Structure 1
Amino acid sequence: AADVTPIYVGIDMDRDTLNARINARCDAMWRSGLIEETQRVLDMGVDPFAQSLQTVGYVEAIAVINGIMSLDDAQEKLRIATRRYAKRQHTWFRRDERIHWIKGSVSDFLPLVQS
């Protein structure tokens, strides 16, 4: 096997673009049936307080199912929780000195990676 040195690259997206992508992804999760998926999991007997359901998305969906939160409030809470999660990920990866950070977005670099 050849001795290969990996190159670690991180894409440093501007905050507005990242937030717009997060919001679009969260909205897509709701449209794709997050509540129905969560209800099926609960119907299988999984405890709503199980660790696997204490994740971004399920927490908000369970709150809607249980009448604790309106759908509009849950949608906004999901966006906020996802943005916070992305910030924690970014902070964690920033500590890795092997990563070379490049300003831009995924769409800027995807053609380069695929070639």
Structure 2
Amino acid sequence: MGAARALYFNQQAFEAEANPLCLTCEDYADEIAVFWIFPDNLLAVVLFEAMRTQWRTGFAGPTGLEYSVLPTLFQLHDVKRSKRRQLFDDVRAMEIEVLSMFAEQRPSSED
């Protein structure tokens, strides 16, 4: 799940800081984590990345992904029906990891 964390936060930081300043990934080379993705997991990571704008949010921040987008993504990526359940579970595992990161970053009520 470290890949989910690295994927989400590296891209988020790059988009927030680098693009408006016309910087490139090379300018952030020391800050960008490198991670390996096993070939069997690549499609799940691609789907998770494609859903990065699909977070449902509440008063405390993101609460989960909008799953209604998945059927469209399955079609766009020609995912066989037999693989969809496993990919859904894989995306959910990455979602849970990122939600735990959000919770860690949220200020506690004691602050």
TM-score, normalized by length of structure 1?
A: 0.31
Select the structure of larger CA radius of gyration.
1
